[in-house]
Structure 1
Amino acid sequence: MKKRRRIVLSVVVTSLATALATVPVTVFGTAAATAATPSPTVTGPVAGGTPSEVMFSTTFDLATIAYQEKEFFLSGTASSYTSASPLTSDGKWTVTPNGTAPYTTRAVVRRPANPKKFNGSVIVEWLNVSGGVDAAPDWTMSHTELVREGYVWVGVSAQWIGVNTAKGNSPAIPGNAARYAPLSHPGDSYSYDIYSQVGQALRTNSAQLLGGLKPRKLISIGESQSAARLITYIDAVHPLAQVYDGYLVHSRAATGSALSQVAPPAATPIVPAPAATLIRDDLNVPVFVFQAETDVAFSNLAGRQPDTKRFRSWEVAGTAHFDDYGLEIGRTDIGDGQGAIRGLASMQNPPTNTSAGACDLPVNTGGAHWVLDAAIHWLNQWVTNRVEPPRAQPLQTTGVSPVVFAKDANGNTLGGVRSPHVDAPIAALGGVGNTPALCVLFGTTVPFTAEKIASLYKNHGGFVAQWGRATAAGVVRGFLRPADGVELVNAAARSQIGG
């Protein structure tokens, strides 16, 4: 049995390596960012305590993966923005500054302990505040790729609620009043310029913020609520600020966020975004939209746009807005292959209890993070080497309002970006249908019975072979990273599935 597993694994790994030479590339031109934005005053590294203690993120010691973490405070004067006319659905907005206010926010920097490992690109995540506290979903989901390739990651407290909670002002979430006493946020109308200024500081004050590392490219990223902020940022502020070299909008809704709103704690829009907001098509930098099934369904297809030379959209079959990896497995995954092994086991026995509460149904275990790794890789290639990402078909639907996905014989959605999770399935994976509360975002998993698996694969070797072929196909098409492919196939070979 072990010899057979080694043979199957060897064949698949060889095919993964060969696949690297067959991935198509397309030349793309992009404009460099300018220096039109003020650079704030930087204080730090902040001493005392753990930098990310008031942030939902990974929980292991970064030293175990040869990374360092430092926290900084950034102070300046930020502008809010307004528009003389209502914002339009095409995203081609003309906005102007509309008042200023002082601020002090924070940025958490994670970088390679060995400066020689730095690849030149900085991922700047707009921290998500949907849970009432700063969270780093994109770091949690993609950190193994970021560490493997030597990125610097920076998490920015761009919004009022993240700063307010960090200061200890939330009755439900512990903060650190002493550590974060200097922080002050004037409200989310100023969040866009704060985000610009932090990015600018990474360019102009890299000696302090990045320990002397010189960033060549800044890549903006944000998930869910942060994706909505980025839509408005891209359409309204990027043409003015020109700070970021590319954007990854992860799990967007149909609309963007308000351009301006009343002072906190209220959040009533003053200049709202249209109900359906597209990414403007006249940008000088690339935008990559990454969508799970949940996102496509909840946006009712309103966020779909055709691919262009500066726009790419991937809709990933069998995935949820947030899943078991982001909620649980990813928080302790140090990139040693155990994440893939645990993920495969989780598909066979999916949880209902999560770090965000108990769900009525087992949550999605479809592994969107594997494809997200590839999206980050391609966006970096796009902005750094002018190489376009591959294009993908959208998910297939049979109905709208509500969206109904076309399913295969195994209960998985057709179309979109494929993965071994849906093309060598051991479960039916969905992005909608769970309850209550936040669980609507976590999707579902229905594991196959032993009889169903036996009918699909005959034996363990048959499963590993099919899983390997599906994985290799994902690598060839550019939707999976080769190193991730090896982990996925190794996890299948070590499992007992089909045996």
Structure 2
Amino acid sequence: MQGPLEGAAFLGGSPVGEKLAQQGYVEEEFILSGTATSYTIEGDFPEDGSASASLADSAAYTTRLLVRRPADADKFNGTVVVEWLNVSAGTDGSPVYSYTHRQLLRDGYAWVGVSAQKVGIEGMEGMPAYMPPLKKANPERYGALVHPGDAFSFDIFSQAGRAVRGDSGVAIPGLKPSHVIAAGESQSAFHMVTYVNAIDPLAKVYDAALIQARGGSSAPLDGIRMDRASVEFFSNPVRIREDVRIPVLTVQSETDVLQLLSVISRQADTDRIRLLEIAGAAHADTYLLGAAAQDHPDIAPEKLAELVAPSANVMGMQLGKPVNAGLQQHYIMQAAVVQLDKWMREGTPPPIAERLALTEDGKGFVLDDNGNVRGGIRSPWVDAPTAVLSGLAQEGPGFARLFGSTEPFDAAKLKALYPGGKAEYLQHFTKALDSAISNGFILSADRDEILAVASASFK
């Protein structure tokens, strides 16, 4: 282990407006080197997730760990969230951190981002220059990094977890955790499913797993890039194994359920498995795509409302409809961290959530009278709506299919729903919000901010 390194670390899309130092946090970057092992299983990955992996090859690696922790050790709550950084955009990204950073910093968590995959270090063809991998972003800082391929990414992630824990003689200064959560979103979630099913029974590093936006299948152990995997591969269901060693909390949007086919891997909740499906949420929304990078505890409600407002212009693309502008995924993810932490520490599972309602053929959602989906985790954004919020794809290039859509109600529709104007709207919104808090899916600590943003958003 080398570090902390001097100078600024690079992380694409990471929240920069959070004022770490003002919240009593420090950011440090470390270089982790070692020899990683790849794994193999006989035959196809089993549908029930009960893979029996064995050691295969070994190779040297050098990667980086990005750490954000309380500067005062006495303010550290003992839990570290270790995120498998997402590389779908050709650079390291931290979507789990983006969705949850307000809660992590509010309650004294530490967060560690792991450059587990080769693309984050070396890049891939066809990605725009504004999304550089580490070696192109700062050749002097990251030029010595070496990644032998994604077949070794699972063991690299295990070794990163051991470094966080200090179990292997390698420790990160300032961190003495009692519990460590593994986390990953989207492509990283595919890898997390494989990790908890096949690698965790051998490695036994993490105390819990937070999986966000997974598909129906899981990542291959041989390191084939997810964008090169076959359609047949993605259509093969893989559930979380029933005998999973650690608590696993999976959080899904509408996009993930139908477009990424997680519906084919739905399973019953157990004392070790929980599945949350969020009504009205998309794989990515205006919070993740822009607001998260500027969100911080002192942000004015009017500013946050402006940042998450519906927009059809994102990432340099002009789309046919505004992308999904619901805030529910941000706040539900913050509650998910707290729920999982309690589950891991005390053995108390999160509440059981209703699944999103599907049509008889399983290919569409059942909608309410306002056009929003029925079932799933309810929130004021769908139960006191001002728009149709969907996670289903709209036409457009690249990642546009993951952004869902927002169709704001016109003045006549709003008048019919809320004849008393803003005051009546806020009454309905508050009732729905308090129900979500009572059900355990939104934190009471976020209540005042949510109401203030709702008031600022209503036109």
Per the normalisation by structure 1, the TM-score is 0.85
| Residues 1:475 and 2:442 are matched in the alignment | no
Equivalent residue, structure 2, for 1:211: 173
CA distance in structure 2 between the aligned counterparts of 1:443 and 1:265, rounded to whole angstroms: 21
1:93 to 51, 59, 62: 51
Call closer, same or farther: CA 1:43–1:265 in 2, change over 3 Å: farther
Equivalent residue, structure 2, for 1:47: 6
User: Deviation at 1:273?
Assistant: 8.3
Equivalent residue, structure 2, for 1:259: 221
Call closer, same or farther: CA 1:114–1:56 in 2, change over 3 Å: same
| Residues 1:412 and 2:369 are matched in the alignment | no
Aligned residue identity for 1:260: D
1:397 to 349, 358, 371: 358
Call closer, same or farther: CA 1:331–1:252 in 2, change over 3 Å: same
DSSP 3-state at the match of 1:189:
helix
| Residues 1:281 and 2:239 are matched in the alignment | no
Give deviations 1:28-56, integer Å, cap 9, x for gaps: xxxxxxxxxxxxxx1000113x11x2432
Equivalent residue, structure 2, for 1:384: 345
DSSP 3-state at the match of 1:432:
coil
Aligned residue identity for 2:353: A
Give deviations 1:54-96, integer Å, cap 9, x for gaps: 4321122422332210000000000000113332111101111
Call closer, same or farther: CA 1:342–1:308 in 2, change over 3 Å: farther
Aligned residue identity for 1:161: V
RMSD after superposition:
2.4
Paired residues in the alignment total 446
CA contact (8 A) 1:254 1:299 kept: yes
What is the percentage of aligned positions where both structures have the same residue? 39
CA distance in structure 1 between the aligned counterparts of 2:304 and 2:30, rounded to whole angstroms: 34
User: Deviation at 1:497?
Assistant: 2.7
CA distance in structure 2 between the aligned counterparts of 1:160 and 1:441, rounded to whole angstroms: 23
DSSP 3-state at the match of 2:44:
coil
CA distance in structure 2 between the aligned counterparts of 1:294 and 1:98, rounded to whole angstroms: 35
Equivalent residue, structure 2, for 1:7: none
CA contact (8 A) 1:392 1:416 kept: yes
Aligned residue identity for 1:142: T
CA contact (8 A) 2:29 2:65 kept: yes
CA distance in structure 2 between the aligned counterparts of 1:273 and 1:385, rounded to whole angstroms: 35
Call closer, same or farther: CA 1:343–1:266 in 2, change over 3 Å: closer
2:411 to 446, 450, 457: 450
| Residues 1:459 and 2:421 are matched in the alignment | yes
DSSP 3-state at the match of 1:146:
helix
CA distance in structure 1 between the aligned counterparts of 2:51 and 2:68, rounded to whole angstroms: 34
Give deviations 1:84-131, integer Å, cap 9, x for gaps: 333211110111110100000001000112222211100000000000
Equivalent residue, structure 2, for 1:38: none
| Residues 1:56 and 2:18 are matched in the alignment | no
2:153 to 191, 200, 214: 191
CA distance in structure 2 between the aligned counterparts of 1:170 and 1:76, rounded to whole angstroms: 31
CA contact (8 A) 1:87 1:273 kept: no
Equivalent residue, structure 2, for 1:421: 381
User: Deviation at 1:406?
Assistant: 0.9
Aligned residue identity for 1:80: S
DSSP 3-state at the match of 2:58:
strand
CA contact (8 A) 1:103 1:183 kept: yes
CA contact (8 A) 2:215 2:234 kept: no
Call closer, same or farther: CA 1:337–1:421 in 2, change over 3 Å: farther
CA contact (8 A) 2:216 2:234 kept: no
CA distance in structure 1 between the aligned counterparts of 2:33 and 2:229, rounded to whole angstroms: 26
Aligned residue identity for 2:58: T
CA contact (8 A) 1:432 1:441 kept: yes
Give deviations 1:270-315, integer Å, cap 9, x for gaps: xx78811111110121101100010011144112111000000000
DSSP 3-state at the match of 2:368:
coil
CA contact (8 A) 1:80 1:192 kept: yes
CA distance in structure 2 between the aligned counterparts of 1:459 and 1:392, rounded to whole angstroms: 32
Equivalent residue, structure 2, for 1:28: none
DSSP 3-state at the match of 2:137:
coil
Aligned residue identity for 1:59: V
Equivalent residue, structure 1, for 2:94: 136
CA contact (8 A) 2:35 2:59 kept: yes
CA distance in structure 2 between the aligned counterparts of 1:316 and 1:268, rounded to whole angstroms: 27
Give deviations 1:316-335, integer Å, cap 9, x for gaps: 00000010000011111012
CA distance in structure 2 between the aligned counterparts of 1:216 and 1:280, rounded to whole angstroms: 25
2:202 to 240, 243, 252: 240
CA contact (8 A) 1:90 1:279 kept: yes
CA contact (8 A) 1:128 1:223 kept: yes
Call closer, same or farther: CA 1:252–1:265 in 2, change over 3 Å: closer
Question: Which 5+ residue runs of structure 1 have no aligned equivalent?
Answer: 1-41
CA distance in structure 2 between the aligned counterparts of 1:268 and 1:455, rounded to whole angstroms: 48
| Residues 1:228 and 2:185 are matched in the alignment | no
CA distance in structure 1 between the aligned counterparts of 2:316 and 2:165, rounded to whole angstroms: 36
Equivalent residue, structure 2, for 1:78: 36
Call closer, same or farther: CA 1:346–1:97 in 2, change over 3 Å: same
CA contact (8 A) 1:87 1:274 kept: no
User: Deviation at 1:267?
Assistant: 6.2
CA contact (8 A) 2:166 2:172 kept: no
Call closer, same or farther: CA 1:137–1:265 in 2, change over 3 Å: closer
User: Deviation at 1:459?
Assistant: 2.0
1:175 to 118, 137, 153: 137
CA distance in structure 2 between the aligned counterparts of 1:211 and 1:459, rounded to whole angstroms: 55
Call closer, same or farther: CA 1:385–1:350 in 2, change over 3 Å: same
Give deviations 1:11-30, integer Å, cap 9, x for gaps: xxxxxxxxxxxxxxxxxxxx
Give deviations 1:342-366, integer Å, cap 9, x for gaps: 454567x511112363322100011
CA distance in structure 1 between the aligned counterparts of 2:302 and 2:353, rounded to whole angstroms: 27
Question: Which 5+ residue runs of structure 2 have no aligned equivalent?
Answer: none
Per the normalisation by structure 2, the TM-score is 0.92
Equivalent residue, structure 1, for 2:269: 307
